[in-house]
């Protein structure tokens, strides 16, 4: 029995109550749309989105926004009139506020039309739309339905294609991905499909081992840190997990000093530990220049010390410092409502690699708080057993541009909105039978 089917001849389904009538009052096309299994339509659209995006990159065409809009169109058509019947809640208010802030800033003249990035604006509003649409559909958890294999299969396909392209000599990014950070982000998203209640322990261990191996292969320290924090949180809350975490912490506490000492004596920049040590050394060496906001030639420094990749921590800190400096010098209007969606890249010459600072700069304090409230609400109502991937994404957003990857963020929205502990249908205006 689906959530959209009638329980009895006189009962009313959640969707009927939202639409304000009985099922027979609806047009035939709407009844047919509601009768379809919701996850089947959503995951079919998402899998198609993944595969078309992959083909888009393989054929070197630039139709990514068209493919994303096609996915959003599938969701909008399936949701139908229910999009206008979303119940009033804290999540609704936060979504509306997050959507209105950049529009109000633009209408008020705080941000000019020429500085707003169309590409990022589409991603920003599209993500809010996915959250809104998934909320009105009242979907069961993504990881609990059979259609999860469609999404997992499509992501695994592009990951395996990238692996088949061959391993480079340094960090792996594959054939499909623009950089190793995106590769690690997509690898982390595979955990959205794990059902901690029904899946076997062997399956869960295999998925986590596979994801950890891909993250290590990418050489992304931020992704590895995010994965360990999220995994540690899950283990601490599980039975016997505290003993596992304590053992792992003791092993790391004893092994890390010896590893760092070996890197000081004979640096090996090809290893992840050696790369982290080199990045820390460069940051310490040029900290005074960073603090003074001096011009730094990152490419030249990288060539002198073994590769431009070793300056990634250095230029991240420089970008963060620059973003905060410009923000502090802004007027109160820009501080509260932001400088405009996508303005970060023209201002500092690159993406900030910190979603929190990016939101603060582009949509201001009000926009940042609205977006944080959305994700905090989704996190707090989610089943505690599946909060690990959410923590990973939150930590990874400190050093990466997660919001710029709509392929993963749309899936993350589907995962978080549907991961509620209990799906409670809205109250029905009909009372066909007395309770007693």
Would residue 281 count as lying in a domain? yes
Q: What angle do CA 351, 113, 365 make, to 5 degrees?
A: 55
DSSP secondary structure letter of residue 382: B
Residue among 405, 409, 408 nearest 375 (CA): 409
Helices (H), 108-200: 118-137, 148-164, 180-189
- Could you give the percent of the chain with pLDDT greater than 70? 65
For residue 211, give its domain range: 21-418
Q: How confident is the model at residue 179 (pLDDT cuts 50, 70, 90)?
A: confident
Give me the number of domains the chain comprises: 1
> How many residues can be counted in the chain?
436
pLDDT at 433 over 70: no
DSSP secondary structure letter of residue 88: P
3-state SS assignment for residue 420: strand
Say how far apart CA 54 and CA 159 lie, in whole Å: 10
Amino acid 258: pLDDT: 47
Would residue 176 count as lying in a domain? yes
pLDDT at 409 over 90: yes
Say how far apart CA 191 and CA 199 lie, in whole Å: 12
Across the range 196-200, mean pLDDT stands at 86
* Paired tokens of 146: 């059979």
Would residue 12 count as lying in a domain? no
Per-residue H/E/C for 247-310: HHHHHHHHHHHHHHHHHHHCCCCCCHHHHHHHHHHHHHHCHHHHHCCCCCCHHHHHHHHCCHHH
Say how far apart CA 32 and CA 23 lie, in whole Å: 11
- Asked if 227 and 211 touch (Cβ cutoff 8 Å), the reply is yes
Give helix 312-328 / helix 298-305 axis angle, nearest 10°. Answer: 160
Would residue 313 count as lying in a domain? yes
Say how far apart CA 227 and CA 250 lie, in whole Å: 18
Would residue 2 count as lying in a domain? no
Q: How confident is the model at residue 283 (pLDDT cuts 50, 70, 90)?
A: low
Helices (H), 180-240: 180-189, 201-218, 221-237
Averaged pLDDT of the chain: 75
**pLDDT (tens digit per residue) in 18-65:** 344 444 444 444 444 444 568 888 898 899 888 888 877 665 556 667
* Paired tokens of 205: 């261990």
Would residue 262 count as lying in a domain? yes
pTM to 2 decimal places: 0.80
Would residue 423 count as lying in a domain? no
Would residue 9 count as lying in a domain? no
């Amino acid at each position: 029995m689906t959530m959209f089917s009638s329980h009895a001849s006189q009962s009313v389904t959640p969707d009927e109550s939202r639409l304000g009538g009985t099922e027979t009052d609806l047009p035939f096309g709407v009844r047919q749309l509601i009768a379809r299994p919701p996850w089947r339509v959503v995951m079919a659209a998402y899998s198609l989105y993944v595969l078309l995006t992959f083909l888009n990159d393989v054929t070197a065409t630039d139709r990514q926004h068209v493919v994303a809009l096609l996915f959003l169109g599938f969701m909008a058509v399936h949701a139908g009139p229910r999009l206008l019947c979303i119940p009033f809640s804290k999540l609704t208010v936060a979504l509306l506020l997050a959507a209105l802030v950049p529009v109000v800033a633009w209408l008020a003249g705080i941000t000019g039309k020429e500085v707003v990035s169309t590409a990022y604006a589409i991603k920003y509003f599209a993500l809010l739309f996915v959250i809104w649409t998934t909320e009105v559909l009242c979907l069961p958890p993504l990881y609990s339905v059979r259609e999860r294999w469609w999404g997992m299969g499509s992501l695994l396909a592009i990951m395996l294609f990238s692996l088949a392209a061959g391993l480079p000599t340094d960090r792996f990014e594959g054939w499909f991905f623009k950089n190793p950070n995106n590769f690690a982000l997509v690898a982390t998203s595979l955990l959205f499909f794990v059902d901690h209640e029904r899946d076997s322990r062997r399956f869960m261990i295999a998925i986590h081992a596979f994801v950890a191996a891909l993250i290590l292969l990418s050489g992304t320290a931020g992704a590895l840190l995010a994965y360990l924090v999220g995994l540690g949180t899950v283990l601490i809350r599980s039975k016997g997990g505290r003993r596992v975490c304590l053992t792992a912490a003791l092993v790391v506490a004893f092994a890390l000093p010896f590893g760092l000492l070996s890197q000081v004596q004979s640096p090996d920049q090809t290893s992840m530990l050696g790369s982290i040590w080199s990045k820390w050394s460069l940051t310490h060496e040029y900290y005074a220049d960073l603090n003074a906001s001096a011009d730094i030639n990152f490419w030249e420094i990288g060539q002198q010390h073994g590769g431009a990749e070793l300056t990634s921590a250095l230029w991240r800190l420089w970008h963060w410092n620059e973003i905060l400096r410009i923000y502090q010098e802004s007027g109160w209007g820009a501080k509260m409502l932001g400088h405009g969606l996508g303005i970060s890249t023209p201002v500092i010459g690159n993406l900030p690699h910190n979603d929190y600072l990016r939101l603060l700069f582009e949509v201001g304090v009000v926009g940042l708080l609205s977006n944080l409230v959305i994700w905090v609400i989704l996190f707090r109502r989610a089943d505690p057993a599946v909060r690990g991937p959410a923590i990973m994404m939150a930590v990874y957003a400190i050093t990466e541009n997660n919001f710029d990857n709509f392929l993963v963020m749309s899936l993350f929205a589907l995962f978080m909105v549907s991961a509620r502990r209990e799906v409670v249908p809205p109250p029905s205006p009909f009372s066909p039978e007395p309770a007693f």
